[in-house]
Each structure stands twice: as C-alpha cells, then as structure tokens.
Amino acid sequence: MTTDSDHRSLDADRDAARPDDRTIDPIASLGTWSALLGHWMALVKAGEGLVRAAPDDLDAARWRASIPEVVTLQAITFALGELARLPEADRPLARDRADLGVTSAASALDQVWRGVEMPESVLEIAADARRAVEQAVYAGLQWIVLGGTTRARMPVVDLDADPDADRGTLAVMLPGTIVLPGEPVAWWTERSRPPALEGAGWEVVEGPPVQVYRELDEQGRVVGDLVASLDDLPAGLPLLAPIVLDGRSIGRPTVDPESWAAANDRAFAEADAEVPVRWTVSRD
C-alpha cells in the first residue's frame, strides 16, 4: 500500500528533477564532460522514483540490478544532447568516454539478463544511448546556405589548402553544382568555415547533418531538390560529399568541376523558372 510519506517522497524526487527558475542554470557553468554527465546523473536518479523489489522475486531482482546501468545510459544520452556546450577541444575525449560508458553499461545489462529476454524498454534505452554516441560527432553542427532568391554556382573548395583539412567534421556540395536558394551547400563542426564559402551570399545557420538530393525527370531535367536526413534514402542524386568525420579523412570529390557544371547546365536548361526545394528535416 502506498503511504502519504511515499507520495511525498516521489513528489520530492520529481521536483528535484525540474529546473529551478530561481537558480542559475547549472549547464551554463559546466566546462567538462564529468560535470555535464554528473549533472544528468543527478537529475535521472532524482526522477526515477525507484521502489525496492522483493528479495525472492528473480525478475524484480534483475530489474533492481539493471537500475545503475539504466541510469548511466539515460544520463549519457541526455548529456550528449548538451555536448555542444563544451569547448570544442574537450568534445572528442567526451565522446570517447561516453562510448566506453555505453559499452560498459550495455555489457553489464547483458550479464544481468543472461538466459532471459531483456525487456523492450531496457533495449530501447541502450539503443538510444548508442545512437546518441554515434550522433555526437555532429554536436554544434552549422550549415552554409545560399541566401537570397537567385541560383548560384558552387565554387571549388580547395580542401588541400585548408589548414583544418583533417579536423572536425565536414561535408561540401560538389563543385560546379547549380545551387538553389535556401539549401545547404556545406555543413561542418569543430573546424573552421571553408574559406571559399565566406562572404556575401553565403549564410550560416544551425542544423542537423543532411543530404541534398537532386530530383530529375525522365528527360534529365531538374524538378526539384530534397533536403533529407542522413537516415533517409530517397530517390535522387546526392549533392553533398562527406570529407571529414570526427577528424578522420573520408575522401575528396572525384567529379571534374567543368564537366559537372556542364551537366548541371543541361539539367536546368529546360527546367521550370521556379525549381522548389523540399524538406523532410526541421530547419532551426
């Protein structure tokens, strides 16, 4: 039976997990991964409202043994969502520590539930944490988009001359591409902005990692561009080439800029005056 004191205890746990408008935001003053993770560990623990299981109930015992790992996985997931608040120099180490933490907690859960089916809710928590680690390389990501209302030509980005050539994460549109207003031509984080994409006409906005797909009709004419999540695989010609991922070089665009520019000109020669850009991702 639940007593009034139990209700007061659970209410206190929930209140502890809520931000207090009268205090300074603790995240704003955090400068290390340990502080960030510790903050979320405290909030998750405060919000669990955990109940002690009967000692002779094996299933309940497994749940009780899972609590520390579940709390760790949830805290890592939430903390990685705030990773952009850490200095750029601290993020790679934070990602490595988060990766190790998720691997360790998932392994411990496998041991706890060995021989029986792990509950779906626990599997989802572990999967969310692993995905958060994979997405953490995009913390602080920024887009460069074409401003105004007029199409433009994507310039050649001299990646070999870039002092940050092998730092951070970067994707750029193929040189010679005809760019539509408002769509991203590059995205990057934890490195400098490509010099070729500075100046008037190029705007910087925050956004998730995306791919831009060019949609053509049966005659090869452009009918529109689609900006989609990297998780999607729609029909169309991908225009953004991945260059660097978390400091690891992926490669360089292999298309000849002049030949590609000519192909773009042909595709737009008989296209409608207004070629639309569609979005399946949220623009910040």
Percent of the chain's residues with pLDDT above 90 = 55
pLDDT of residue 4: 43
How far apart are the C-alpha atoms of 151 and 181, rounded to whole Å?
6
Cα 41 from chain centre: 21
Is residue 81 located within the same domain as residue 148? no
In a domain, 59, yes or no: yes
What is the reported pLDDT for 48?
Answer: 53
Is there a single domain that holds both residue 184 and residue 267? Answer: yes
The residue segments making up the domain with residue 253 are 142-279
* 103 and 192 both lie in a single domain: no
Residue 187, Cα to own-chain centre: how many angstroms? 12
Q: Which amino acid is at 102?
A: V
How many domains does the chain divide into?
Answer: 2
Domain boundary among 104, 137, 170: 137
Tens of pLDDT, residues 160-191? 777 777 789 999 999 999 999 999 999 999 99
Residue by residue, DSSP assigns 149-201 as: SS-EEPPP--STT-TTTTSSEEEEEPTTPEEPTTSEEEEEESSPPPGGG-STT
Is 244 a member of any domain?
yes
Residues 164, 103 share a domain: no
Say if 284 falls within a structural domain.
no
The residue-averaged pLDDT of 120-124 equals: 90
Tell me if 148 is assigned to some domain: yes
Q: Strand order in 240-245's β-sheet?
A: 202-206, 142-146, 184-189, 169-173, 240-245, 248-249
Say whether both 217 and 245 belong to one domain: yes
Lowest mean pLDDT among 87-101, 152-166, 175-189, 205-219: 152-166
Break the chain down into helix, strand, coil percent, rounded to 5. Answer: 40, 20, 40
Residues 245 and 168 occupy one common structural domain: yes
Output the pLDDT for position 284.
60
Q: State both tokens at 172.
A: 């750029």
Is residue 169 domain-shared with residue 115, that is, in the same domain?
A: no
